[in-house]
Homo-oligomer: A and B are copies of this chain.
Amino acid sequence: MPTLRLSYFDIKGSRGQVARLAFELGGVAFEDARLNFADFTARKESFPYGALPILEVDGTVIAQCNGINRYVGKLCNLYPSDAVQAALCDETMDAIEDVSHKVSPTLFLKDEDEKKRAREALVEGPLPVFLKRLAARLEARGGEYFADGRLTVADLKVFVWIRSLQLGVLDHVPTTLVATHAPSLVAHHDRVWANPKIRAHYE
């Protein structure tokens, strides 16, 4: 195994969390380097695209979360070897990035009224539409996993995002949103959560 160091914020969600869970499930040793915001700001210009996560593999720096997830998925037997199944796994991870790009602009709104209006606009349209589309893709493949008929990094990516919605990480987005519009994604979330290694990671 190469020497692996994952650098990300000290939070249990968002873009760096999927690789941590994959390492956990695969039983692959890595350095879990957690940065606070001051560390990040001080080191930001040294990161390839000024952002986290980054993964260092024997010193080679890899940026961009889904490429990291894919690499870690290969190491940890959580990425399909079949090319079509791999593409379906990729599709799912990129879909979550797409919706994250819709939500991101609302994270930095300082005016609370403006943030509330922006979040409510997401709840009125884009989020339910996306949740239904994502659920339809899952259901079309049998309803259990997004690719390869087994747990892959795609499932971890969806799990981390759905978990954040259910926990109410986004103010003004009801924690019942997923259950209302996409119950199969709640069942999917609970399927991943039932894995003892996943639960242990959070507990």
Contacts and interface: CB of A to CB of B under 8 A. Distances in A.
Nearest to A90: B67
A67 B129 CA distance: 22
Contacts of A63: 91, 95
A64 interface: yes
Nearest to A98: B49
B101 A84 contact: no
Q: State the oligomeric state as a number of copies.
A: 2
A48 interface: yes
A67 B50 contact: no
Contact of A86 (B48, B71, B84, B97): B71
Main secondary structure of the interface of A (DSSP, over half): helix
Given A95-B63, A133-B48, A133-B49, A87 B71 contact: yes
Contacts of A90: 64, 66-67, 70-71
27 contacts: A48-B91, A48-B95, A48-B133, A49-B95, A49-B98, A49-B133, A55-B87, A57-B87, A60-B84, A62-B87, A63-B95, A64-B91, A64-B94, A65-B94, A66-B94, A67-B87, A67-B88, A67-B89, A67-B91, A70-B86, A70-B87, A70-B90, A71-B86, A71-B90, A74-B83, A75-B83, A97-B97
Given A71-B87, A74-B83, 19 more contacts: A48-B91, A48-B95, A48-B133, A48-B137, A49-B95, A49-B133, A50-B129, A57-B87, A60-B84, A62-B87, A63-B95, A64-B91, A65-B94, A66-B94, A67-B94, A71-B83, A75-B83, A94-B97, A101-B101
